[in-house]
Structure 1
Amino acid sequence: MKRVLIVDDSGNHRNQLTIILKKHGYELIEAENGEQAIEIAPKMHVDFILLDVIMPVIDGYQTCEIRKYQEPTQAVLINFLSAKNEISHRTFG
């Protein structure tokens, strides 16, 4: 079973994603912010991260940057979640 970490400061968004992904057989772990995600991801051996961009404490971009230096999570795929729709807010790499 694939383990997905959902990182979003909105409990509503986390709940919606959890309902959808559980139906497809994913094991889900939740974090309320980037700081929690950085702590949880290496310990829980996640396969994929759904990461909100705009969050308190540490935003999604900073979380992604820090996470890529953590040995167990360097190769974990990340999908950013954002309400921002402008091209200038999209990042690849």
Structure 2
Amino acid sequence: MLSEKVQDLEQENHELKERLRALEEMYGDRGKLPKDCKHCRNFSQHYIRCGTSYYPTYDGHCTAGQRLRNRKPDDTCESFAKMEYGENCI
């Protein structure tokens, strides 16, 4: 009985690894993202409150070196640092 459960888990693990491999082939790595502010760890997105919710605006600022104000998510600068997903996300 226990060995059957182990075999089932091993089979599920194998299937999940195959799905992950297929997704990585389909979407590639995240290193190909453009070097713009919305993909930079130094970019702080600005938000506006409407009622009880917050919505992102098309504005923000850079926290690297000189604090550059009024940065747009599509802007670029010399202080670009690739965002580490899972570490910088809420």
TM-score after normalising by structure 2:
0.21
**Structure with the higher helix share, 1 or 2:** 1
TM-score after normalising by structure 1:
0.21
Larger RCO: 1 or 2 (CA < 8 Å, sep 6+): 1
